[in-house]
Structure 1
Amino acid sequence: MARPLVIKVTAGADAPERCNQAFTVAAAAVASGVPVSLWLTGESSWFSLPGRAEGFSLPHATPLEDLLSVILSAGQVTLCTQCAARRDIGPDDVLPGVRIAGAPTFVEEISSEDVQALVY
């Protein structure tokens, strides 16, 4: 069995290449059968909302909405509790399949045996 990945993305449209890299790695891992948990924090929090990924554009990159769709199909996507609160995002606002959770859940995930954590 593949080692699970927990990927935290802190960048959004403010750092498009770093943001897209996190989503690309997460989607590639999901497509390869690797268990993935993607955490949206900071400016990437906006991509938990309907229509926001469609507004992101990076030349020569797979559209963010396509990558997010792959991740949601077989992985876990989590929006940081504090990041959501700072942006007035509630549970009824996010895309289907996105959960809101905080630091204790993140620590639990990254502390699990054989997990690889990546931060972008």
Structure 2
Amino acid sequence: MSKKLVIKVTAGADSAERCSQAFTVAAVAVASGVEVSLWLTGESAWFALPGRAAAFELPHSAPLVDLLDAVRAGGRITLCTQCAARRDITEKDVLEGVRIAGAQVFVQEAMADGTQALVY
């Protein structure tokens, strides 16, 4: 049975520590060989756009852009459909490899055998 981790991050710059924790856990899991699906919802939706993660700063934490790149390289990143719509973000706006999908896809991923889900 393969290991899979689904992480939903709702925080952005509005709650920097919670946001950084989610991205850190996702990047460490990818580096550990875990299949990772990172969902960007709420204020974290902005990190689906080019340049946004590079502007994020939190003392004593890894650069968010590096964590995001690690997850993009070895996992899957999904931007919530409704969160994207509320921010006028479309598929042509997002980073390469980021998909836009809704709650049905999240539930399918979170309920799959061998999957653990975390919400930040």
Q: Same fold (TM over 0.5)?
A: yes
Aligned Cα root-mean-square deviation (Å):
0.7
- How many residue pairs align between the two structures? 120
> Which residue is 2:48 aligned to?
48
> Which residue is 1:91 aligned to?
91
Asked if residue 37 in structure 1 is aligned to residue 43 in structure 2, the reply is no
| Percent of paired sites with the same residue | 69
> Which residue is 1:72 aligned to?
72
> Which residue is 1:82 aligned to?
82
List alignment gaps of at least 5 residues for structure 2: none
Runs of 4+ residues deviating >3 angstroms: none
Task: Tell me the CA shift for residue 114 of structure 1.
Answer: 1.3
2:2–2:114 CA contact under 8 A, matched in 1: no
List alignment gaps of at least 5 residues for structure 1: none
Report the secondary structure of 1:50's partner residue. coil
Amino acid of the residue matched to residue 23 of structure 1? F
Report the secondary structure of 2:14's partner residue. coil
